Amino acid sequence: MQIAVVTGASSGLGREFVYQISRTETLDEIWVIARRKNRLQELSAKIKTVHVRPIALDLTSQKSMTIYRELLKQENPDVRIFVNAAGFGKMGNYAEISRQDCDSMIDLDCRAAVDMTVLTLPYMREGARILEICSTAAFQPLSALSVYAASKAFLLHYTRALRWELSPRGIHTTAVCPYWIKDTEFISTAKKTRNSTAVRHFPLASHVHSVVKLALMDSRLNLAVSTPSPMSFVHRIFAKFIPHSAMIGIWELLRRI
Ligand SMILES: NC(=O)c1ccc[n+]([C@@H]2O[C@H](COP(=O)([O-])OP(=O)(O)OC[C@H]3O[C@@H](n4cnc5c(N)ncnc54)[C@H](OP(=O)(O)O)[C@@H]3O)[C@@H](O)[C@H]2O)c1
């Protein structure tokens, strides 16, 4: 059974990945993972071209990892595409974000991303593709997004190193680094802290459709890092050549405008 697995599929990027994969790939099933079961069921009902299997899991819990591992063992699928899009961020300084939110960010954006990838890998073979959804936040430290940006830097570095480990197996591994995206729940979730105006504006934000289309194309081309919008590409170049201290200064100005 050839399948795709998409985490974070109940909204935003993950859901759009499911739509586009269902249109462009020949698969027997797409496994969709997130906490909100009703959203996953709605998605499954909407897609007619391939069977979409809703799997409601909270990826910050170890029990969910055991459930996923057992499901893989039972079904023994051939995972052609694994998209890890589950993730969230919170805006505010060290005193404005709860410790629980900080821990959950690290848990979901780092630990769960690694665990889900490692659990899926035994079921992937040559030509399979992994897309780890990082962020342009991975390119530099960001005040008022310090834990989130650090968690995405972790995922970017992990993904780039994993790519080398997996290259003898012929598995394509791409770190997808989008800039702000308007039409997802990310920004509204991120603003729910003690300082909802820590970042005031999101200029030139992109849209999920084009981000996912470009990310899938970059993964087909086996790029190490996908910057799926002009802004994410520019950010990547700037962060490479301008010292981090100057980039943080620019960010401090931009987020207050
Ligand atoms: N939007 C942006 O501006 C932007 C920019 C760069 C990178 N990103 C990254 O893109 C990825 C997708 O974000 P998005 O913009 O699509 O945001 P989103 O609409 O909020 O989607 C986040 C997804 O993660 C799932 N999720 C959250 N906590 C979870 C948990 N504990 N267990 C399982 N699933 C969980 C959510 O589903 P449930 O709530 O149903 O569990 C949802 O499906 C994230 O990794 C984010 O960091 C976003």
Pure H helices in 83-145 = 99-106, 113-120
Verdict on whether the full-model pTM lies above 0.95: yes
Angstrom distance (rounded) from CA 250 to CA 253: 5
Angstrom distance (rounded) from CA 125 to CA 120: 11
- Does position 135 have pLDDT exceeding 90, yes or no? yes
Residue of 11, 90, 179, 231 best suited for mutating to test ligand 1, as the one with most atoms within 8 Å of CB? 11
184: part of which helix (H) or strand (E)? none
Angstrom distance (rounded) from CA 55 to CA 37: 7
Look at residue 257 in the predicted model and tell me its pLDDT: 81
In this structure, the residue with its CA closest to atom 7 of ligand 1 is 135
Separation of CA 55 and ligand 1 centre (Å): 16
Residue of 68, 115, 156, 186 best suited for mutating to test ligand 1, as the one with most atoms within 8 Å of CB? 186
Domains of the chain with bracketed CATH: 2-256 (3.40.50.720)
Which amino acid would we find at residue 90?
Answer: K
pLDDT digits (tens, 9 = 90+) for 62-75: 999 999 999 999 99
pLDDT digits (tens, 9 = 90+) for 80-130: 999 999 999 999 999 999 999 999 999 999 999 999 999 999 999 999 999
pLDDT digits (tens, 9 = 90+) for 216-240: 999 999 999 999 999 999 999 999 9
C-beta of residue 9 within 8 angstroms of C-beta of residue 33: yes
Q: How many other C-beta atoms can be found within 10 angstroms of the C-beta atom of residue 153?
A: 19
C-beta of residue 43 within 8 angstroms of C-beta of residue 22: no
Q: Could you give the 3-state DSSP secondary structure of residue 29?
A: strand
What is the β-pairing status of strands 78-84 and 51-56? unpaired
